[in-house]
Amino acid sequence: MKVVTEKNFAYALSENMRIIAALVVRSAVTRFGESRMGFVWVLIEPVAYVSVYLLIHAWMRAGVPFGDSALLFFLTGIFGFRMTRGIARKTERAIISNQPMLTYPLVRPLDTIIATFLTESTIWLIICWLFMGGLSLMMDRSVIVYPADFAEGLLAILYFALSFATFNAMFSALVPRYDTFMNMLSMPLMLASGVFFVPTQLPPEFQAILWWNPFLHCVEWFRTSTYLDYNALLSKQYLLGVSTGLLVIALSVERIFRRKIVAS
């Protein structure tokens, strides 16, 4: 009797794994399209960002905001932000891009989200590893000074990206124009996330406003592990709390409005 229920759950779990694995393969294949340029572009994008900022920086003859290397500062900032945003961006479109898959009753909206999230985070972790490794080779010293903190920060970033993406995916399916609204927010968010400056050097009034931006905490968490004495405006509890809250809301919404979400 006991065996029956256990087998049921194990069976469901194995089915789920199978579906997610299949979806991961599918999204990985379709991620870069037919051409090989897709992957190159993924690599070029951060380089382009960093070099544009370095050029502007050199042109303005500004001092390095923090530390001895402007490259390291911008790269950590861009990775802290772009990684979170990039993963969330692709993942929140998972339901829409996997719409044909949802016609199978076995495939649930959450499966597509998890599958896309897995693919995206793998890609971004590889990119991050490439850049950090390259940077440490270039600067001839270890870039990541607190490996435990770094791992923690990466996990937190992934967790936040997943929650944020799930939340956005649910709401963009339910609320019209939600998608465009979020896209409009993208650039201001980047400016307000401390990619180009050290938030603690701002006046306290600005800090109090910026503190509410969870992306800022992602960036700051990322940076804490690359500088020995970075003075971060970071509240780990806030970031984790926001992520958990978003995830709870998103899962509840998914449960309640499931039919509507699948239909949209």
Partner 1 sequence: MKEEKTPVEAEAQPHVATGASSLLDIAKQRVKQRAEDKKVVALKRVPSRRAPDPDANDEEDLGARARTKTDIVKKIMTLPEMPKRKRKLPWTQISFGLVVVVPTILTALYFAFIASPQYVVETQFSVRGANQSSLSGLGIPALVGGGLQSGDSYIVADYIHSAQILPDIREQTGVDIRTVYSRPNIDFLYRENDTRSLDEFRDYWRDMVDVSFNSTTGNVTMRVFAFSPTDATQVSQSILSVSEHLVNTLSDKTRRQVVDVANQQVARSEERLRNIRKQMTELQINEQAVDPATVATMEATIISSLEQELASLRTRYKALVDSISSDAPSARVIERKISALEAQLIEQRNRLTGDVDQPADGKTTRSGTDTSSALPQMISRFSELGVEQEFAVKAYTASLAALEAAMQEAQKQERYFAVYVPPREPEVALYPFSLLNTGIVLLSSISLWVIGYFVFRSVKDHAI
Minimum gap (Å) between residue 253 Cβ and partner 1: 10
| 3-class DSSP assignment, residue 31 | helix
Candidates 3-11, 45-53, 146-154, 170-178: pick the segment binding partner 1 (CB under 8 A). 3-11
Token code pair at residue 201: 């050097």
| Subset of 103-162 contacting partner 1 (CB under 8 A) | 105-106, 108, 110-111
Q: For partner 1, what does the binding mask look like between residues 61 and 80, x meaning CB under 8 A?
A: --x-x---------------
| Subset of 202-221 contacting partner 1 (CB under 8 A) | 202-204
How many of the chain's residues bind partner 1 (CB under 8 A)? 35
Quote the distance between the C-alpha of residue 92 and its chain's center.
Answer: 11
**Residue 74: closest CA among 209, 222, 229:** 222
Give the separation between CA 141 and CA 195, rounded to whole angstroms. 22
- Give whole-number Cα distances, 244 to 18, 115, 153, 164, 180, in Å: 26, 20, 16, 10, 24
Give the separation between CA 127 and CA 143, rounded to whole angstroms. 15
Q: Which of 200, 213, 235, 264 binds partner 1 (CB under 8 A)?
A: 200
| Subset of 13-42 contacting partner 1 (CB under 8 A) | 13, 15-16, 19
- The residue length of the chain stands at 264
Rg (CA), the chain: 20
Q: Which of 251, 257, 262, 264 binds partner 1 (CB under 8 A)?
A: 251
Residues that bind partner 1 (CB under 8 A): 1-2, 4-5, 8-9, 11-13, 15-16, 19, 63, 65, 105-106, 108, 110-111, 200-204, 229, 231, 241, 244-245, 247-248, 251-252, 254-255
